[in-house]
């Protein structure tokens, strides 16, 4: 497994193939768009998505937590896909097994009452400001500040000679913004228009690759 390193304003970040990003100075793990509960939501509505995908989400969370052992985990929104369902029980158990503090920046999918999160001692906020970095769910631009966000589920289309092409999830870093890929196992990706000067880090099963 190979991660990639990145600096933002002299701060050290480590990008993980799962789509999570670790902030070394703050001992903080950032994870965007897990969409827990989505599988159950689909199943509840008669769409038989394999149940083992649910476990996969938690396995991934455990793996990345074990790798970085952060003091804090911050979810950049869309942690839970829809209304309360039985996956909440599994999520509660997972939260209790964590020693890290958990913060949720509310996303558009997060419709579950903040009170439910507070019961689990999860802090729910609209955004988070740390030094000159501000963390949000929806990407936002503010003068003089660097934004870290999710929501987009970024992916890129790559082309090579001999008519080769493929799409892959990625981290996208612009001059004043970084967008994380979606972490969940049952989430799609949105193919981005890449602009000159953007830094792209493609995510594969076991490697993060800087493309440009």
User: What are the distances in angstroms from CA 17 to CA 139, 181, 210?
Assistant: 21, 10, 12
- 212 vs 5, 99, 172, CA distance in Å? 14, 37, 10
Q: Is 5 or 132 the residue whose CB approaches other proteins more closely?
A: 5
Q: Tell me how far, at minimum, the Cβ of 106 lies from other proteins, in Å.
A: 16
Q: Does 153 bind other proteins (CB under 8 A)?
A: no
**Under a CB-based contact definition with an 8 Å cutoff, are residues 191 and 166 in contact?**
no
Choose which of 3, 18, 40, 57 interacts with other proteins (CB under 8 A): 40
Confirm or reject binding of residue 175 to other proteins (CB under 8 A): no
Pairing of strands 28-31, 72-75: parallel
Q: Indicate the angle between helix axes 52-68 and 87-97, nearest 10 degrees.
A: 20
Q: Is the Cβ–Cβ distance between 54 and 86 less than 8 Å?
A: no
| Closer residue to other proteins in complex, CB, 10/159 | 159
Contact between 126 and other proteins (CB under 8 A)?
Answer: no
For other proteins, how many residues bind (rule: CB under 8 A)?
Answer: 52
- List phi, psi (to 5°) of 35: 55, 50
**82 near other proteins, rule: CB under 8 A:** yes
Of 3, 18, 41, 177, the residue at the interface with other proteins (CB under 8 A) is 41
- Positions touching other proteins (CB under 8 A) are 40-53, 56, 81-82, 85-87, 89-90, 109, 156-166, 168, 185-188, 193-196, 200, 202, 204-207, 209, 211-212
């Amino acid at each position: 497994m190979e991660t990639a390193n990145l600096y933002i304003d002299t701060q050290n970040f480590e990008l993980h193939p799962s789509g999570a990003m670790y902030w070394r100075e703050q001992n903080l793990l950032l994870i965007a768009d897990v969409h827990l509960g989505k599988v159950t939501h689909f199943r509840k509505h008669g769409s038989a998505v394999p149940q083992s995908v649910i476990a996969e989400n938690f396995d991934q969370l455990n793996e990345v937590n074990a790798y970085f052992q952060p003091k804090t985990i911050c979810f950049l929104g869309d942690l839970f896909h829809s209304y309360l369902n039985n996956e909440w029980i599994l999520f509660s158990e997972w939260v209790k097994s964590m020693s890290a503090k958990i913060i949720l920046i509310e996303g558009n999918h997060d419709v579950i009452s903040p009170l439910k999160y507070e019961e689990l001692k999860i802090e729910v906020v609209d955004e988070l400001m740390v030094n000159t970095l501000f963390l949000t769910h929806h990407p936002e631009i503010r003068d003089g500040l660097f934004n870290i966000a999710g929501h987009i589920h970024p992916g890129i289309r790559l082309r090579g000679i001999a008519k080769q092409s493929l799409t892959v999830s990625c981290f996208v870093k612009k001059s004043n913004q970084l967008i994380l890929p979606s972490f969940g196992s049952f989430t799609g990706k949105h193919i981005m228009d890449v602009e000159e000067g953007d830094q792209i880090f493609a995510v594969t099963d076991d490697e993060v690759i800087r493309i440009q």
